[in-house]
Amino acid sequence: METNQHYKVNRNIFLACIIVFALLLLYSMLEFLTAFLGSVILYVLCKPAMHWLIEKRQWKKPIAAITMLIASFFIFLLPISLAGGLLYKEINIIVSNPQSIIQPLTEIDLFLKEQFHITVMSIQNLEKIQSFLGKTLSIALNTGLNFFTNITMMYFFLYFLLVNINKIEEDLEAYIPFNRDTVKIFGNELVAQTVSNAIGIPLIAVIHGLLGFVAYLITGIEQAAFLGVLTAFASVIPVVGTALIWIPVSIFLLIKGDTGYGIFLLAWGVIVIGLSDNLIRFLLAKKMADVHPVVTVLGIIIGLKYFGIAGLIFGPLLISYFLILLKIYYTQYQHKQPEKKKEKSILPAYLRFPLQGKKNK
């Protein structure tokens, strides 16, 4: 009969083999990791509507899945594609005509030199800006080419997740070494984090971008659409946020002599854009998880490095999932019940009788 020691050794060897194969598979599929993460996020978001189509409308699963694929494209991907196309177009125009961005910077530099005797835009800095714009265009082009490949694979994964709806949850519940209550907590927090990062962040970005675009149009700025897209992307940065865009633009207007427009843009940014952020977060408070700013900052940095633009969502989401796993592990394995305190005797030590007395010889 197999001893307990042999059982532990065999189990550890088998577990090591599983980990090695898992790492090999993960390394082989790194190219499609972005597509897989995107399919999981869309699966979580589409699941309530998928249930409604199957249970209430009595649709067949393949037809309901295809319907959800089409709906998700128009709701989520089409706006992102349009914003990305506009951003690429504007970057291409700026790279082909660098003076459109260098001239405003030169005017700001001239103002600082006259008023404060500070020189910012040296020849070396101008060359660095032009080089940066060229690299940005190259990165945007490569991202655009990879975008279509990732979208195709993402929808391939998403279709089979939707057709086999609830199958992945049942498998996880069966094989994850946690009790049912812990798995339920994990599922609820996972959904909350997914909604917060996949719906809350993009929704806030779109609204801030539109509000910024309207303000830039009113002030008569030529690159209003481009600055609106930049404002949308800047909204994901904690603390600074959209102010990273509209404050420099306001300063530029004040330097040009458009004092009224400059003050208007500053007031618009503080009041309208600032209040809209609080209002959106209040309306989505029941659905959105409370994501710490440090998680957002680190997630954006990591996400942009490994996933490109999609990392704005995937980065914070991965860190949030990791923190959920740490929390579950602590609750399941590390949280020890407090030991019961022994009742103290009121008698002094020399008057206490031993629990097991010695037998008299």
Question: Per-residue pLDDT tens for 10-49?
Answer: 878 888 888 888 888 878 777 788 888 888 888 988 888 9
Question: In this structure, is residue 340 part of a structural domain?
Answer: no
Q: What is the identity of the amino acid at 201?
A: I
- CA–CA dist 212, 219 (Å, integer): 11
Question: In this structure, is residue 349 part of a structural domain?
Answer: no
Burial of 322 per CB tally in 10 Å (0-12, 13-18, 19+): exposed
What mean pLDDT is reported for the chain?
A: 76
Give Cβ neighbours of residue 100 (< 8 Å, ≥ 6 apart).
Answer: 93, 94, 222, 223
Domain closes at, from 127, 161, 195 = 161
Domain closes at, from 126, 161, 196 = 161
Extract the tokens encoding 347.
């008698």
Higher pLDDT, 130 or 274: 274
Residues 320 and 223 in one domain: yes
Residues 141 and 208 in one domain: no
- CA–CA dist 220, 228 (Å, integer): 13
Note the pLDDT of residue 256: 80
Question: In this structure, is residue 167 part of a structural domain?
Answer: no
Per-residue pLDDT, averaged over 205-231, amounts to 87
Residues 123 and 213 in one domain: no
Residues 151 and 248 in one domain: no
Residues 146 and 222 in one domain: no
Residues 194 and 321 in one domain: yes
Give Cβ neighbours of residue 104 (< 8 Å, ≥ 6 apart).
Answer: 252
Residues 230 and 305 in one domain: yes
Does residue 164 surpass a pLDDT of 80? Answer: yes
Residues 69 and 132 in one domain: yes
Q: The pTM is what?
A: 0.68
Residues 92 and 219 in one domain: no
Question: In this structure, is residue 287 part of a structural domain?
Answer: yes
Does residue 101 surpass a pLDDT of 70? Answer: no
Question: In this structure, is residue 343 part of a structural domain?
Answer: no
Question: In this structure, is residue 286 part of a structural domain?
Answer: yes
Length of the chain measured in residues: 361
Note the pLDDT of residue 355: 44
Q: What is the identity of the amino acid at 248?
A: P
- CA–CA dist 4, 74 (Å, integer): 57
Number of domains in the chain: 2
Rounded to the nearest 5 degrees, what angle is found at the Cα of 239, between the Cα atoms of 238 and 244? 90
Question: In this structure, is residue 25 part of a structural domain?
Answer: no
Residues 157 and 189 in one domain: no
Give the dihedral sign, CA 148/151/153/159: negative
Collapsing DSSP to helix, strand or coil, 250 comes out as helix
Per-residue pLDDT, averaged over 214-237, amounts to 85
Residues 322 and 193 in one domain: yes
Residues 192 and 322 in one domain: yes
* Residue pair 200/317 in contact by the 8 Å Cβ criterion: no
| Share above pLDDT 90 across residues of the chain, in percent, rounded to a whole number | 12
State the residue for tokens 């490095």.
305
Question: In this structure, is residue 312 part of a structural domain?
Answer: yes
- CA–CA dist 315, 296 (Å, integer): 8
Note the pLDDT of residue 345: 45
- Which domain does 104 fall in, by range? 32-161
- CA–CA dist 69, 164 (Å, integer): 14
Rounded to the nearest 5 degrees, what angle is found at the Cα of 294, between the Cα atoms of 291 and 297? 100
